[in-house]
Amino acid sequence: MRIAIVGAVLIALGLVAMATGVLPVEAVGALAARSAPILGFVVAMTIVAELAAEAGVFRAIAQHLARFARGRAIVLWLFVVAMATASTIFLSLDTTAVLLTPVVVSVAAHARISPIPFALTTVWLANTASLLLPVSNLTNLLAAERLDLAPVEFAALMWAPAAVGVLVPTVFLFVTRPRQLLRRYVPDEPTPPRDRVLLGIASAVLLVLVPLLVSGIEVWIPASAAAAALALVFVFRRPSVLRPGLVPWRLLVFVAGLFLAMEAAHELRLTDVLGSFAGQGEGPLELLRLSGVAALSANVADNLPAYLALEPFASSPLRTAALLIGVNAGALITPWASLATLLWHHRLVAMGVEISWAKFAALGCIVAPIVVAGAVLALSATS
């Protein structure tokens, strides 16, 4: 509810800016045309992910992984790494934070393993693995739309930073928590699905959807079709699941407010000060400078407004890539650096898992600079 209140306040301020002429109506119209397909995708993918979870898709995957690991915690953890990475890349970081977190915590609990390395794996990879495709992160969608890059073209630009974003947190977690990961466990018996037909249909929809998201079609189209198909199935199989709460209206209000606020800030030239810090040029040091400013901004004010504020100073694909590295992979220190982190923590608290924000920030201060620097150097080396 807090993000909805913040978003409503920002929308109100944006409307005041429009009424006073600070924010031209033409600029708002252009902003709406740019953001509407993106917000439509966010809504559709949220519905797809929620309905797939209700059908038992993610829980079934987790149970199979726990069985395939054959009592070895390290193998189970590597499965979680793979699942978090795939979920983030193809279904977005918020999907990973919201839906995968309770799954991996439950798997760890059933295996009598500490849930902390599994929980950290989920939230770190939700942020750092969200560099490869436009659908992985809302900031990526904005960048791809601005640069007019198809998913394959976007991936060709971002593949090396994305690889660093997955490898660095994974290696760090393994090196710092060997006792928790190098142990054995006795897996529980899998729970049969509540509705096998529903599970099968939802799994098939996801299998069809994933390649369509990287096919070059505007992503809101296949996502909306998948959401409609799943909703239709649930009408006949489990209509009680279809409720207004499936639509992430709080997130929509928050994002719409951020868009308006940053557009007004640009019109007032309030973001120009960031340009003096972000610098210019495409050399390794210039790209590191931009990524560093972006990461710091994300941890101060959330990654989405940080991206919007710095976007005018990322005038080329290479600088835009460096900006994305900073706001996405660098958002590991403060709880509010990304919405996904807040959603992740909410799910942990609901499941009785406690993690200190001070410890989270301390670990992030170590991992974030390494990820950002490594990803920028990988970008520079492969560009």
What would you report as the CA-atom Rg of the chain, rounded to the nearest whole angstrom? 21
> 72 forms bridges with which residues in the sheet?
184
| Neighbour count for residue 99 (Cβ, 10 Å) | 21
The pLDDT, as a whole number, for residue 352 is: 80
How far is 18 from 32, CA to CA, in rounded Å?
Answer: 14
What is the token pair recorded at 354? 């406690």
**Whole-number Å distance between alpha carbons of 364 and 128:** 12
Residue 191, both tokens = 């729970």
Amino acid, res. 351: M
**Which residue intervals of the chain are DSSP H helices?**
2-19, 25-54, 57-68, 73-91, 93-95, 101-110, 116-128, 138-147, 151-176, 178-181, 196-213, 220-237, 249-267, 272-278, 284-301, 303-310, 317-324, 339-350, 357-382
10-24, 190-204, 228-242, 255-269: the lowest-pLDDT one: 255-269
Q: Which of 32-46, 152-166, 291-305 has the highest mean pLDDT?
A: 152-166
Q: Which residues pair with 202 in a beta bridge?
A: none
- Determine the pLDDT at residue 192: 81
**At 254, which amino acid appears?**
F
**pLDDT number for residue 70:** 81
| 220 compared with 171, residue with greater pLDDT | 171
Please spell the DSSP secondary structure of 109-135, one letter per residue: HHTT--SHHHHHHHHHHHHHTTTSSGG
For residue 9, give the nearest of 252, 245, 253, 249 by alpha carbon: 253
pLDDT, position 188: 66
Residue type, 54: E
Mean residue pLDDT across the chain: 87
Maximum Cα interatomic distance, the chain, rounded to a whole number of Å:
66
pLDDT above 90 (res 19): no
Task: Return the half-sphere exposure (C-beta side, CA atoms, 13 A cut-off) of residue 295.
Answer: 28
Query: Between these two residues, 157 and 106, which has the higher pLDDT value?
Result: 157
344-373 pLDDT per residue, tens: 887 787 678 888 889 999 999 999 999 999
Residue 257 one-letter amino acid? G
Over range 180-189, report the average pLDDT: 77
Residues 6+ apart with CB under 8 A from 269: none
Domain locations in the chain as residue ranges: 2-382
Q: How many CA atoms lie within 13 A of 12 on its CB side?
A: 6
Helix (H, G, I), strand (E, B) or coil at 184: strand
Quote the pTM value: 0.82
pLDDT band, very low/low/confident/very high, at 20 (cuts 50, 70, 90): confident
The CA distances from residue 319 to 12, 160, 284, 312, in Å, are 33, 15, 10, 10
Report the SS3 class of residue 72.
strand
Whether 1 shows a pLDDT value over 70: the answer reads no
Query: What tokens were used for 251?
Result: 């997130």
